[in-house]
C-alpha cells in the first residue's frame, strides 16, 4: 500500500518536472520527452535510477525516463555476459516489450480507427 503512495508521488513529480519544462522553458513535448530519456540514461549511468525504482516502483519505471535507464541496463547486462558487442545486442533487450507493443497496437489502432476532427 505504501508503495502505491510513493508511485503516485514520484511518478507525479517526474510528470510535473516535464510540465515545468514545457511551460516555463517553452520546450515542445518531443523535446521534453527526449530530454527526460537522456536524463534517465545518465542517472542510470550514475547508479541513481535503480534505487529510485526500488523505492518508488512504477512511479519511476512508468515515466519515459526509465526508458533511457532500461536501454542502458540492457546494454550493460549483455556486455557483462558477451563482452563489448553486448552493448549493441543488449540495448533493446529490456525495452523490447514496450517498443514492440507500442508498434503493434499502434498499427492495429490505425487499422480500426479513423482520425477524429
Partner 1 sequence: MPKRKKLTTAQQDYANTAKALEPKRPVVKNVLMAFVVGGLICTLGQILQFIFINYFGFEESQAGNPTAAVLIIISALLTGLGIYDHIAQRAGAGTAVPITGFANSIASAAIEHRSEGYVLGVGANMFKVAGSVIVFGVFSAFVVAIIKILINGVGGL
Positions 47 through 86 that interact with partner 1 (CB under 8 A): 57-59, 61-68, 71-72, 75-76, 79-80, 83-84
Site for partner 1 in 13-42 (CB under 8 A): 13-24, 26, 29-30, 32-34, 36-38, 40-42
The upper half-sphere exposure of residue 103, i.e. CA atoms within 13 Å in the direction of its Cβ, equals: 5
Is residue 45 a contact residue for partner 1 (CB under 8 A)? Answer: yes
CA dihedral of residues 92, 95, 97, 99 (deg, nearest 10): -90
- Out of 48, 51, 55, 101, the only residue in the binding site for partner 1 (CB under 8 A) is 101
Q: How far apart are CA 88 and CA 85, in angstroms?
A: 6
Amino acid at each position: 500500500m505504501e508503495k502505491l503512495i510513493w508511485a503516485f508521488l514520484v511518478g507525479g513529480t517526474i510528470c510535473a518536472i516535464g510540465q515545468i519544462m514545457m511551460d516555463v522553458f517553452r520546450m515542445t513535448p518531443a523535446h521534453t520527452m527526449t530530454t527526460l530519456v537522456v536524463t534517465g540514461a545518465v542517472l542510470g549511468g550514475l547508479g541513481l535510477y535503480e534505487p529510485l525504482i526500488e523505492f518508488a516502483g512504477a512511479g519511476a519505471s512508468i515515466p519515459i525516463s526509465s526508458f533511457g535507464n532500461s536501454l542502458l541496463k540492457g546494454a550493460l547486462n549483455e556486455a557483462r555476459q558477451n563482452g563489448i558487442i553486448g552493448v549493441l545486442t543488449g540495448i533493446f533487450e529490456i525495452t523490447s516489450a514496450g517498443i514492440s507493443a507500442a508498434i503493434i497496437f499502434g498499427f492495429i489502432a490505425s487499422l480500426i480507427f479513423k482520425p477524429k476532427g
